[in-house]
């Protein structure tokens, strides 16, 4: 299979929409920057790569991705340093993960040259869209089947896009979660470890029902025993139990979060004991009753570090201490943000200047 890198052409907008943007009123994921990257895979190789003005795309109603769900995506962010430089965080990990997701859906790998050259040039071109201060530029690579036919088989053609949007906090307040005891997110041998579109579609009903009850999202349990915590709908989860950071281990049904990996690495750097293992919801309830559940928080690119204020399990609210007392997640979250914005040493080589 050829993965030749096509020439990258650039078509710039004649007028930027950036001046029309009110940064204080930008909702997450609703305003997009001036340009987008597009690449096409046909006849066994990457045929076309270009940056064009952001806009709508044409598609046939027979588009394979719409019928059979061959679609994977990523989430990453660009930041601005104190000196004003655009920065990327662990983009190699996103590249590797999107190809693992693609492999699971029988999709050809994205060329590293296509991914990286398109990403870098797009961020350079729209660098002014990266907010200053606590904001960031959210980056969404998406890769989907592009055959125009009806028939269950892997597509022969594909489209790969990268779009970006300036964002603030995904959750503006500590989150309230409810344990789902009716639905499951993933099972062994399924697609739980891949970032595929269908995983998120299947989570929407439970998420909607959680919101109707006054909660922000769902805590998913395993599909076999219905007792072991897996993840939240938008992020990986961690708990501080008696000064030990405990997080569900990667079992093949949980997304291998890049933020999760970064946070656990930093905790270990800080000398904090970290355990990656099976974590039952009953263990969390027992730790709460014993007064040793000190913190609970989510970890993800969109959410970054999201403190959890409430966990509802079997109709009972476990109300955690105030966020001001969350010393572990606050410390690691601050360290992570300082690394992402080049305010401190990056000993792991995670940050790249664009």
Instruction: Tell me the pLDDT tens digit for each residue of 191-211.
Output: 999 999 999 999 999 999 999
Contact 337, 303 (CB under 8 A): no
The more confidently predicted of residues 21 and 70 is: 70
Distance in angstroms (rounded) separating the CA atoms of residues 121 and 117: 6
Q: Residue 23: pLDDT band by 50, 70, 90 thresholds?
A: low
Q: Residue 1: pLDDT band by 50, 70, 90 thresholds?
A: very low
Instruction: Tell me the pLDDT tens digit for each residue of 315-352.
Output: 999 999 887 789 999 999 999 999 999 999 999 999 99
Same domain, 123 and 32: yes
Return the ∠ at Cα 145 (arms to 139 and 250), rounded to 5°: 60
Same domain, 159 and 278: no
Asked if residue 265 is part of any domain, the answer here is: yes
Task: Work out how many domains the chain is built from and give that number.
Answer: 2
Asked if residue 250 is part of any domain, the answer here is: yes
The more confidently predicted of residues 145 and 173 is: 145
Report the 3 state secondary structure along 299-325: EECCCEEEEEEEEEECCEEEECCCHHH
Same domain, 144 and 231: no
Whether 91 has a pLDDT exceeding 80, the answer reads: yes
Asked if residue 350 is part of any domain, the answer here is: no
The pLDDT > 70 percentage for the chain reads: 97
The pLDDT > 90 percentage for the chain reads: 88
- Write out the DSSP string of 162-213: EEEEEE--S-SS-EEEEE-SS--S--TTSSTTS-BHHHHHHHHHHHHHHHHT
Asked if residue 254 is part of any domain, the answer here is: yes
What CATH number did the domain enclosing 143 receive? 3.30.470.10
Q: Residue 169: pLDDT band by 50, 70, 90 thresholds?
A: confident
Same domain, 43 and 189: no
Token pair of 277 as six digits = 């293992």
Q: Residue 185: pLDDT band by 50, 70, 90 thresholds?
A: very high
Report pTM.
0.95
Asked if residue 346 is part of any domain, the answer here is: no
Q: Residue 3: pLDDT band by 50, 70, 90 thresholds?
A: very low
Same domain, 183 and 331: yes
Domain hosting 28: range is 9-167
The more confidently predicted of residues 133 and 211 is: 211
Distance in angstroms (rounded) separating the CA atoms of residues 262 and 17: 34
Distance in angstroms (rounded) separating the CA atoms of residues 290 and 287: 5
Same domain, 188 and 298: yes
User: What pLDDT was estimated at residue 2?
Assistant: 39
Same domain, 182 and 300: yes
Asked if residue 38 is part of any domain, the answer here is: yes
User: What pLDDT was estimated at residue 24?
Assistant: 60
Instruction: Tell me the pLDDT tens digit for each residue of 263-310.
Output: 999 999 999 999 999 999 999 999 999 999 999 999 999 889 999 999
Same domain, 319 and 210: yes
Domain end call among 167, 196, 226:
167
Distance in angstroms (rounded) separating the CA atoms of residues 122 and 34: 10
Domain end call among 116, 144, 167:
167
Distance in angstroms (rounded) separating the CA atoms of residues 105 and 30: 28
Instruction: Tell me the pLDDT tens digit for each residue of 32-68.
Output: 999 999 999 999 999 989 999 999 999 999 999 999 9
């Amino acid at each position: 299979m050829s993965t030749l890198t096509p020439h990258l052409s650039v078509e710039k907008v004649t007028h930027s929409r950036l001046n029309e943007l009110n940064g204080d009123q930008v909702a997450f994921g609703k305003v997009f920057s001036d340009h987008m990257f597009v690449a096409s895979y046909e006849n066994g190789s990457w045929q076309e790569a270009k940056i064009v003005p952001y806009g709508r795309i044409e598609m046939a109603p027979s588009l394979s991705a719409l019928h059979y769900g061959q679609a994977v995506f990523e989430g990453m962010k660009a930041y601005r340093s104190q000196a004003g430089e655009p920065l990327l965080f662990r983009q190699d990990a996103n590249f590797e993960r999107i190809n693992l997701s693609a492999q699971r859906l029988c999709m050809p790998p994205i060329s590293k040259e296509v991914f990286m050259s398109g990403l870098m040039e797009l961020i350079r071109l729209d660098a002014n869209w990266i907010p200053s201060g606590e904001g960031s530029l959210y980056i969404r690579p998406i890769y989907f089947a592009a055959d125009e036919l009806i028939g269950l088989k892997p597509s022969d053609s594909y489209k790969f896009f990268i779009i970006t949007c300036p964002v603030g906090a995904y959750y503006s307040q500590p989150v309230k979660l409810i344990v789902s005891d009716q639905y499951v997110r993933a099972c062994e041998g399924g697609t739980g470890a891949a970032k595929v579109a269908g995983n998120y579609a299947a989570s929407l009903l439970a998420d909607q029902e959680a919101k109707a009850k006054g909660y922000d999202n769902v805590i998913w349990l395993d599909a076999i025993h219905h007792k072991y915590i897996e993840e939240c709908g938008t992020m990986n989860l961690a708990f501080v139990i008696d000064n030990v950071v405990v997080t569900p281990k990667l079992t093949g049904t949980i997304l291998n979060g890049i933020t999760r990996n970064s946070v656990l690495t930093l905790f270990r750097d800080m000398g904090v004991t970290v355990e990656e293992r099976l974590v039952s919801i009953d263990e969390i309830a027992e730790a709460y009753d014993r007064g040793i559940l000190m913190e609970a928080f989510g970890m993800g690119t969109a959410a970054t570090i999201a403190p959890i204020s409430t966990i509802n399990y079997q109709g009972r609210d476990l109300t955690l201490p105030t966020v001001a007392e969350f010393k572990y997640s606050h410390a690691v979250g601050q360290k992570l943000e300082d690394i992402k914005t080049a305010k401190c040493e990056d000993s792991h080589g995670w940050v790249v200047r664009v």
